[in-house]
Each structure stands twice: as C-alpha cells, then as structure tokens.
Amino acid sequence: MSDEPRPITLEAFAEAIKELPLSAVYAKVLEIRNSIAHLHRSNSELTEFINESCESESDKRELEGYIAENEGVITNMTERLGLLKSEIERRGEPWIEELLNGADTKTDGDQSSATPASQPVVNGMAEGDRNTEQQDTSRGPQDTQADNEEGVYL
C-alpha cells in the first residue's frame, strides 16, 4: 500500500458534504475552483516550458506526465463540483452563479465548473456567501476547523 494520501471517494465526499453547514459547502466550491484554476495555470506554464525551453525528450515526457496527472485531478475536482451543486440544490438553495450574478442563471455542466472572472472573493468566500454568512470573518476557515476537533475535513 502506498504512503501517499488518497482523496476520499466520490461516494464518501457526497455523504460528507451532507453534514456540512451551507456556508462550508459554498466555501468548498470556491476552494475547489481555486485549485482547478491553479492546476490550469500550472499546465499552461508546463506546456509553454515544454514548447520553448525543454530540450531533453525524457524531460518532455516527464513534464507531459505531470500535465496528464493534473488533468486527472481537474476531472476529479470537477466531479466534486457536480456533487456540491447537487447538494446545494437538494437543500433548496441557489447554485453559486445565481448568488454571484444575483439572477436566476441557468448553467450547464461545463459552466458550473468554470470560475467566473468577476467573482469577488474576500476571506475565502464570495461576496454573496459573505452576505448570507454570520461568522466571524476575522478568523480563517482553518482556525474554525482547528477549534472543532470532530468533523469531516474534505
């Protein structure tokens, strides 16, 4: 068995988010979107390096392997976004684009995983989330998790 940590299964993730408060579910959406954006940026930089500077074929193959691995992680995270959307809608709440746009916008599968360029984020939460949230914003989500020894960490 590998010593590398493995993400929880999609089924376990779907069960775990049922226990989270709504604000934490929305925060998880923003966290995953941020991770996806960083992976896309990393893949762009790796591709640029491969095309412009990488001379060794073995180095190119290694870097292309990293890009493929990142794409697999992006796929996994996109599936998690779908589960988060389903959970939010199951609770009868609006999906995040509806909060951010302030309108009933319809989203398809591709749009639900995209990060809106105009998304205002302060203290790790979108402005729409902050308006509905009643938490102490002087502390970050890590502090809240550390105070609560029990719980699910996704």
* Pair 126, 119: CB distance under 8 Å: yes
- pLDDT, one tens digit per residue, over 63-100 is 999 999 999 999 999 999 999 999 999 999 999 777 76
β-pair partners for 122? 125
DSSP state of 121: E
Label residue 152 by pLDDT band (50, 70, 90).
low
- Phi first, then psi: give them for residue 94, nearest 5 degrees: -75, 145
85 Cβ neighbours under 8 A, 6+ residues apart: 29, 95, 112
Overall average pLDDT of the 20-36 stretch: 96
Overall average pLDDT of the 39-59 stretch: 95
β strands within the chain, DSSP E: 121-122, 125-126
pLDDT in the model for residue 142: 42
Task: Give percent above pLDDT 90 in the chain.
Answer: 55
Exposed / middle / buried, residue 102 (Cβ in 10 Å: 0-12, 13-18, 19+): exposed
pLDDT in the model for residue 97: 76
Label residue 19 by pLDDT band (50, 70, 90).
very high
* Pair 125, 28: CB distance under 8 Å: no
pTM of the full structure? 0.63
6 vs 90: CA distance, rounded Å:
27
The average confidence (pLDDT) of the chain is 76
Q: Is the pLDDT of residue 125 over 50?
A: no
